[in-house]
Amino acid sequence: MKVAAKREEGDRKKKKEELKRTKKQKAEELLFHRKEDDETGPINRTQDRRREEESEDEKGGAAAASEVVTQTLYPKLPTESPPQYEETPRTTRSKGKNYTWSKTMGKLLSPARSVPSINSSLTEADAYPVIQVANPNIADNQPQTILVYRTWTIDDVKKAVEGVAFHKEDVTQFVQDIENVRQSYHLNGQEVQQVWMAALGSDWHYVRGNWDPARGGQPLPHNDGELTVRVRGLTDRTTQRFRRRANYTEIGRVKQKEDEPFEEYRIRMTTVFKAHSGLEETPDQNGTFQQQLKNALHAGSKDAVRCWVSKHYIGLATGTLDDYVSHALHQRRPES
């Protein structure tokens, strides 16, 4: 009970103190806002002046603080005016060296080609790839065709080797195609190298050997006999490196499908046989290539074709490839 009485006494005292503070605050607010007794009196003027001085001090302090912050963030602000812009026009065009086709093995193509100087002893036909066209100004004792300059960019090189056979599948056809490109475009030594490197890719270093596309610092002209000799060396090294090797496992995997016509199957088998037989293709019907291809076709054909040909083609063992194909195309399914 004593504790409860003390608690009640303490609550009453707190309420009295809060009431006094509330009355005091209201009285101060009334004195601060009301000037109805004497608005021009000395006491009120003194209070107004004091408030104005305090307001000015606050403004000055805020400006000083702002200046300090500005100096902290930007301690060295320039006070002088910026320099005048240059009125000289500028260009992004490079004025450097105009690169020509590279003469090194490591660089296949260069960004641009340079025009030969007037004092150069090489003609355009010697310095650039040219093509043979009809002579538009033909007259007596003049050739029917002439060689004209053509561009030779990286896109031209890629297009020139698009139809070249893959060297790892048919190296004989590859060297024949690449030589046809050289003869068609009348390529000089440097351009021959570019075509070979584009066609062989990373295998170029296997056949490079002692190849040199130039003589005396200048590319060999397209009609130079020495260029033909050096290209023949490339051809021999390429043929030796990528010559056909027998792989009858790959040949045995080729089988005629049930719904596949014999002619389509024959084309598939011939392509694989050329790549993996290790034999050179010859037109001799009794030669090794033709006879082995005939046996491979017979072994991989459908049961119906194989049985029908074995039954009706008496000369299967010694006959030609064309005779075998003729019998296979005219086979009949046995009646049920």
In tens, the pLDDT along 11-40 reads 888 888 888 888 888 777 666 554 544 444
Assign residue 286 the CATH number of its domain: 1.10.1200.30
Asked whether residue 220 is domain-assigned, the answer is yes
Asked whether residue 77 is domain-assigned, the answer is no
Confidence of residue 211 (pLDDT cuts 50, 70, 90): very high
154-181: average pLDDT: 88
Q: Token pair of 255, please?
A: 């089988």
Considering the domain architecture, whether residues 231 and 282 belong to the same structural domain is answered as no
Q: Domain ends where: 209, 241, 273?
A: 241
Query: Computed from CA positions of residues 167, 171, 174, 175, in that sequence, does the dihedral angle turn out positive or negative?
Result: positive
Asked whether residue 321 is domain-assigned, the answer is yes
Confidence of residue 45 (pLDDT cuts 50, 70, 90): low
Asked whether residue 38 is domain-assigned, the answer is no
Considering the domain architecture, whether residues 148 and 237 belong to the same structural domain is answered as yes
Considering the domain architecture, whether residues 131 and 188 belong to the same structural domain is answered as yes
Q: Token pair of 152, please?
A: 């030779």
Considering the domain architecture, whether residues 222 and 255 belong to the same structural domain is answered as no
Considering the domain architecture, whether residues 136 and 227 belong to the same structural domain is answered as yes
Considering the domain architecture, whether residues 197 and 290 belong to the same structural domain is answered as no
Average pLDDT over all residues of the chain: 75
pLDDT value at 334 more than 60 = no
Considering the domain architecture, whether residues 220 and 252 belong to the same structural domain is answered as no
Q: Is 102 exposed, middle or buried (0-12, 13-18, 19+ CB in 10 A)?
A: middle
Q: Domain ends where: 221, 241, 261?
A: 241
As a whole-number percent, the residues of the chain with pLDDT over 90 amount to 20
pLDDT digits (tens, 9 = 90+) for 48-106: 667 776 666 666 666 665 655 555 555 555 566 666 655 554 443 344 444 444 444 44
186-192: average pLDDT: 88
Considering the domain architecture, whether residues 226 and 253 belong to the same structural domain is answered as no
164-176: average pLDDT: 86
pLDDT score recorded for residue 120: 42
Asked which of 57-71, 93-107, 188-202, 236-250 is least confident by mean pLDDT, the reply is 93-107
pLDDT digits (tens, 9 = 90+) for 94-137: 444 444 444 444 444 433 343 333 334 444 444 456 666 676 66
pLDDT score recorded for residue 118: 34
If one counts every other C-beta atom within 10 angstroms of the C-beta of residue 9, the result is: 10
User: Of residues 155 and 42, which shows the higher confidence score?
Assistant: 155
Asked whether residue 2 is domain-assigned, the answer is no
pLDDT score recorded for residue 238: 92
Strand partners, 145: 134
Considering the domain architecture, whether residues 195 and 261 belong to the same structural domain is answered as no
Asked which of 140-154, 163-177, 191-205, 267-281 is least confident by mean pLDDT, the reply is 140-154
* Number of domains into which the chain is organized: 2
Considering the domain architecture, whether residues 182 and 270 belong to the same structural domain is answered as no
Q: Domain ends where: 241, 262, 278?
A: 241
d(CA 269, CA 283): 17
Considering the domain architecture, whether residues 191 and 282 belong to the same structural domain is answered as no
Asked whether residue 275 is domain-assigned, the answer is yes
Considering the domain architecture, whether residues 173 and 227 belong to the same structural domain is answered as yes
Asked whether residue 45 is domain-assigned, the answer is no
Q: Which residues form the domain of 267?
A: 248-329
Asked whether residue 293 is domain-assigned, the answer is yes
183-197: average pLDDT: 89
Residue 132 phi/psi, 5-degree rounding, is -95, 125
Q: Token pair of 23, please?
A: 């009355």
Query: Which residue is listed with tokens 């790959």?
Result: 250
pLDDT digits (tens, 9 = 90+) for 305-327: 899 888 888 888 888 999 988 88
Mind giving me the DSSP string for 19-80? HHHHHHHHHHHHHHH---S-TTSHHHHHHHHHHHHHHHHHHHHHHHHHHHHHHHH-TT---S
